Amino acid sequence: MTLCITTVLTICTMYSATRNDAPATSYFKAIDLFGVINITFVFAVLLHYTNILRFFSKGKLAAAVKSQARSPLTQVVPKENAGSPQEEEQRAPDADFAKRSAKYDGIAKVLFPLSYLLFVVAFFLYYAV
């Protein structure tokens, strides 16, 4: 989280310094577009990290509630019902949650760098040619 916030602040400072050094114009320049897109990508990574933390804390909260419900002081389960289908149904949401979180993170690990690479290639092809 600290690295993301530091990166956002650094990019904002670099963008501001670049805009101050450039001549004043009434239109949107290529450097403006590049700076805004860079800030947007870093901010998107920060939002992604926040979502991962939310998913992680949600999973921890569900595990804590489940362990509290299974404690011997609050619930007595006979031994013959220890492996009942109800207990397996209670475990299924945790497995589903873990799969969804891993899938979300895996997609983001590919999508963010790939989309940024495509942006940089398209940007430099458009403005260099």
Does residue 29 register a pLDDT over 90? no
- Assigned domain for 75 exists: no
What is the arithmetic mean of pLDDT over 108-113?
91
Q: Is the dihedral of CA 21, 6, 8, 124 positive or negative?
A: positive
- Has residue 121 been placed in a domain? yes
Within a domain: 93: yes
**Cα 51 from Cα 74, distance rounded (Å):** 32
pLDDT at 61 over 70: no
Which is nearest to 11 in space by CA: 36, 48, 31, 33? Answer: 36
Query: Total domain count for the chain?
Result: 1
pLDDT at res. 45: 86
H-type alpha helices, 1-129: 2-21, 30-69, 85-128
CB 97 within 8 Å of CB 58: yes
- Tell whether the model's pLDDT for residue 13 goes beyond 70: yes
Range of 57's domain?
2-68+86-128
In a domain, 80, yes or no: no
Question: What CATH number did the domain enclosing 27 receive?
Answer: 1.20.58.390
